[in-house]
């Protein structure tokens, strides 16, 4: 799936296989979940595919059916798997667009939503700043792919984005023709680089646009903006994208249900 080594617990840093028995103090279902997680992150079961039948998996690993179901429930809670009623358990296909437009309401010439158009304004390979390298789990002196992207609705710019992607995981994007890129990045990450975005964390704040940012968004310098800081994670739990999105604060509208 990517170049990060995976250890027996499914996290970055190790290279050994999952042990064939639980470690001292480890529950049997926790050990089994780690084994299944490793098979997913190492690409044995690709996103969108069904896992083998529960009885077959339990027999393969030499565990009771109840233990297997506990392990599967843990991976469902982690977001790696999803249950489809009447069909079985599947590896999650990952996020699609995870659109930033859910934070905004822009006037459109028609009432249809759809995917905003995307234009790559800049693409550069740079040495990662210390905080960027730390967030992406990269060593000091590592390089990242830096992107500046403008997103538009019906030809009108609405979102300005800066992204940092780790190399060599995204080497293919450092070389390809940006004019041919998809409007949605996450499906393209999966298709071109083999990276599945499994989840993302967004943090919102407010600020003012500088002159350059405002010009790109066709607003006045100093205009209030919403800033969305995103960290996106792959199936192995590694942060593989840092993204800052700027948009008109007067277009901000976000609804959450509290129950």
pLDDT in tens, 51-95: 999 999 999 999 999 999 999 998 888 778 889 888 889 888 777
Into how many domains does the chain fold? 2
Residues 225, 159: Cα–Cα separation, whole Å: 10
Same domain flag for 72 and 142: no
Q: What is the CATH number of the domain that holds 75?
A: 1.10.10.10
Q: How far is CA 29 from CA 34, 90, 139, 140, in A?
A: 9, 18, 34, 37
Average pLDDT on 212-232 reads 96
Residues 132, 83: Cα–Cα separation, whole Å: 35
Same domain flag for 17 and 128: no
Same domain flag for 34 and 159: no
Strands (E), the chain: 81-84, 88-91, 117-127, 143-153, 156-166, 197-208, 224-234, 239-248
Q: What does the DSSP 8-state code read for residue 102?
A: G
Last residue of a domain, one of 41, 59, 93: 93
| 174: helix, strand or coil | helix
Residue 114 is predicted with a pLDDT of 61
Give residue 210's domain range. Answer: 100-251
As a residue count, the chain comes to: 259
pLDDT(119) > 80 = yes
Last residue of a domain, one of 93, 116, 147: 93
pLDDT digits (tens, 9 = 90+) for 155-212: 899 999 999 999 999 999 998 999 999 999 998 998 899 898 888 999 999 999 999 9
Residue 215 is predicted with a pLDDT of 98
Same domain flag for 64 and 118: no
Pick the residue with more confidence: 242 or 106? 242
Same domain flag for 5 and 61: yes
Residue 229 lies in a domain: yes
Residue 256 lies in a domain: no
Same domain flag for 115 and 69: no
Residues 35, 98: Cα–Cα separation, whole Å: 29
| 78: helix, strand or coil | helix
**8 Å CB contact between 164 and 136:** yes
Residue 19 is predicted with a pLDDT of 65
Residue 257 lies in a domain: no
| Token digits of residue 85 | 């009623």
Residue 243 lies in a domain: yes
Same domain flag for 168 and 196: yes
**Residues in a beta bridge with 153:** 156
Residue 78 lies in a domain: yes
Same domain flag for 104 and 69: no
Last residue of a domain, one of 65, 93, 121: 93
Same domain flag for 116 and 216: yes
Residues 252, 119: Cα–Cα separation, whole Å: 22
pLDDT(8) > 90 = no
Residues 211, 5: Cα–Cα separation, whole Å: 43
Same domain flag for 154 and 82: no
Phi/psi of residue 180, nearest 5 degrees: -95, 5
């Amino acid at each position: 799936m990517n170049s990060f080594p995976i250890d027996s617990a499914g996290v970055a840093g190790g290279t050994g296989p999952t042990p064939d028995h639980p470690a001292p103090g480890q529950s049997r279902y926790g050990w089994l979940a780690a084994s299944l997680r490793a098979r997913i992150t190492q690409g044995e079961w690709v996103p969108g595919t069904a896992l083998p039948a529960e009885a077959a998996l339990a027999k393969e690993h030499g565990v009771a059916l109840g233990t297997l179901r506990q392990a599967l429930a843990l991976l469902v809670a982690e977001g790696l798997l999803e249950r489809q009623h009447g069909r079985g358990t599947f590896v999650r296909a990952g996020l699609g667009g995870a659109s930033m437009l859910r934070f905004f309401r822009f006037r459109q010439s028609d009432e249809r939503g759809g995917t905003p158009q995307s234009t790559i304004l800049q693409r550069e390979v740079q040495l990662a700043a210390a905080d960027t390298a730390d967030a992406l789990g990269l060593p000091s002196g590592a390089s990242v792919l830096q992107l500046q992207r403008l997103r538009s609705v019906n030809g009108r710019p609405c979102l300005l984005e800066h992204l940092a992607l780790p190399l060599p995981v995204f080497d293919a994007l450092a070389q390809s023709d940006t004019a041919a890129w998809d409007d949605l990045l996450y499906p393209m990450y999966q298709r071109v680089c083999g990276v599945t975005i499994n989840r993302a964390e967004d943090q919102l704040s407010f600020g003012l646009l500088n002159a350059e940012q405002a010009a790109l968004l066709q607003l006045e310098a100093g205009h209030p903006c919403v800033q969305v800081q995103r960290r996106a994670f792959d199936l192995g739990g590694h942060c593989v994208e840092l993204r800052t999105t700027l948009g008109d604060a007067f277009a901000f509208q976000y609804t959450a249900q509290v129950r």
